[in-house]
Amino acid sequence: MIHVYSGPTIPAAEVTGICPQAMHHPPIRHGDLITLAPARDDVVVIIDGLFHGTAPIRHKEILAVLADGVTVVGASSMGALRAAELHPYGMHGIGEIYRAYRDGRITADDAVTVQHTPDGHPLGEPLVNLLHTLATASEAGTISAADADRLGDLARSLHYTRRSWTAVRRAAQHDPRLVAAVDTVTDRHACRSRSTDLKHRDAVAALRATAGPLPALDTNAWANTRWRTSFLRHWTTAFTVRDIAGASVPFRAELQHQQLYDPGFPGRWRARVLAWITSLPAGAAGTEAAALRTAAGRGITLDTLTRDQAGYWITPAETERCDDHEQLLRLLVRSARVDAATLVWPSTREEAVGLLSPRIDSGQHTAEAWLLNGTIARSGPGRHVHLLDPEQLRAHLAETWRAPDDPRELDAAARDRAFPSMDAAVEAARPFYLRAIGARRFLPVPAAAT
């Protein structure tokens, strides 16, 4: 399968005309490749991408699919930028713009940027096209090289949202010679010719390149090293989605639902952490003793911790009723996610085997909660879950967990469920709260039929 991300540079109809087997997508943005989950041997062609108003595609999202055997091609716009940055790691770059970025002849990210309508219609001209048109006109003798250089400097001085031939002419109005040069270029329609649309030309070249086999690029030098960060794992849980009851439910939400509402989650989390510490199977006999030995071997015992250090993780009530071994085990479990890069927290459904209960359909629960939230939000002003009182959510979780309504006890209960704090658990509970308390009763009653 060939996946093509484009917008103002080349429209969908032209993409499929050049590459009939391609599946077209709008300009790429952060998370799109994770959601797409391309198969090994698929080809992804990145031409246009979003930024500014939304987060752009991250480099490690591209590295992740490269490491999985996906071929990624970049050209023209965001694709040229990312290919210039990632070609040492196996991303293919195609076209003059890519080569200019790769070789340092262009360094500004906004040189390829153009403002456009939601349906992809460009509202201006990218700097690369303006400069290419000026260079073409200069080489043809239409305008002088000096005038082309001066007009190029004026184009660079404009913000990308304002770049157009009209704006360049306006910026040159103090110099009649430059105004005449702009008029000469635009009157001859050179600026509107596909031959001077460098971004489009590179996009066409990239699409045609997918017709034949692209040279294999070696990713072995880095793919098996420790390059995956906690950010990538976090993004994976956020953008790996399932379509359930009309809602796109991310894996992260399913995890959070069980963290919050499954009474068995703390026990499974404890078993998972101790197994991770000891490299023993979860729930294996002797795991707790092995975890204590492993901690002691690294200098971690209650005797080596200050009172404040231990007290951060262990409540006063636990200090009174639990022996030293149990206190240290609880400390180890509660502190496991301090380093977000650790692999103990799953980023995929496969990694979560043994942690998520198959008896609870958290995907369905999440979809129902989100649909209910939307319905209630549309029923009147000020009825959005973002406006819920944190103290109301805190009390709800304290009741759900049957935990004392005490800050330290609630922090401990949240950490037993793999949250870093009670505040984090409160924020995770927002989208689930209305469904959990049966808030359908707040929906407006339909008018009776007459």
Q: pLDDT tens-digit profile of 237-283?
A: 999 999 998 889 999 999 999 999 999 999 999 999 999 999 999 88
Quickly count: other Cβ atoms within 10 Å of residue 39's Cβ: 11
Instruction: Give one DSSP letter per residue of 54-89, joined into a string.
Output: SPPPPHHHHHHHHHTT-EEEE-TTHHHHHHHHHGGG
Angle between helix axes 390-401 and 407-416 (nearest 10 degrees) is 70
168, 154 Cβ separation under 8 angstroms: yes
Residue with tokens 């030293």: 324
- Could you say which residues of the chain have pLDDT below 70? 188-195, 340-341, 439-450
pLDDT at 192: 54
| Alpha-carbon dihedral angle through residues 117, 122, 126, 130, given to the nearest 10 degrees | -150
pLDDT at 448: 47
pLDDT at 449: 44
Give the integer Cα–Cα distance in Å for 179 and 278.
75
**pTM for the structure as a whole:** 0.86
Q: How far, in Å, are 33, 94, 153, 279, 327 from residue 203 at the CA level?
A: 19, 8, 26, 50, 61
pLDDT at 193: 56
pLDDT at 444: 56
Give the integer Cα–Cα distance in Å for 407 and 411.
6
Token code pair at residue 165: 């031939």
Beta-carbon contacts of residue 396 (< 8 Å; ≥ 6 apart): 429, 433, 436, 437
SS3 130: helix
| Residue 34 amino acid letter | I
**At CA 437, angle to CA 432 and CA 441, rounded to 5?**
110
SS3 320: helix
Helix (H) or strand (E) holding 24: strand 22-25
Q: How far, in Å, are 252, 330, 393 from residue 422 at the CA level?
A: 18, 16, 10
Strands of the sheet containing 22-25, edge to edge, are 22-25, 2-5, 43-46, 71-74, 92-93
Beta-carbon contacts of residue 259 (< 8 Å; ≥ 6 apart): 265, 417, 418, 419, 425, 428
pLDDT at 341: 66
Quickly count: other Cβ atoms within 10 Å of residue 156's Cβ: 14
Give the integer Cα–Cα distance in Å for 80 and 379.
46
> Domain segments of the chain: what residues?
2-115+200-223, 127-197, 242-450
As a residue count, the chain comes to 450
Angle between helix axes 230-239 and 251-261 (nearest 10 degrees) is 90
pLDDT at 283: 84
Specify which residues 353 forms β-bridges with: 356
The alpha-helical segments, DSSP class H, found in 343-442 are: 362-378, 390-401, 407-416, 422-436
**At CA 191, angle to CA 135 and CA 106, rounded to 5?**
45
**At CA 253, angle to CA 400 and CA 64, rounded to 5?**
150
If we measure between CA atoms, which residue out of 311, 357, 365 comes closest to residue 334? 311
Give the integer Cα–Cα distance in Å for 351 and 81.
33
287, 274 Cβ separation under 8 angstroms: yes
pLDDT at 213: 85
Q: How far, in Å, are 120, 241, 380, 437 from residue 427 at the CA level?
A: 36, 20, 23, 16
211, 330 Cβ separation under 8 angstroms: no
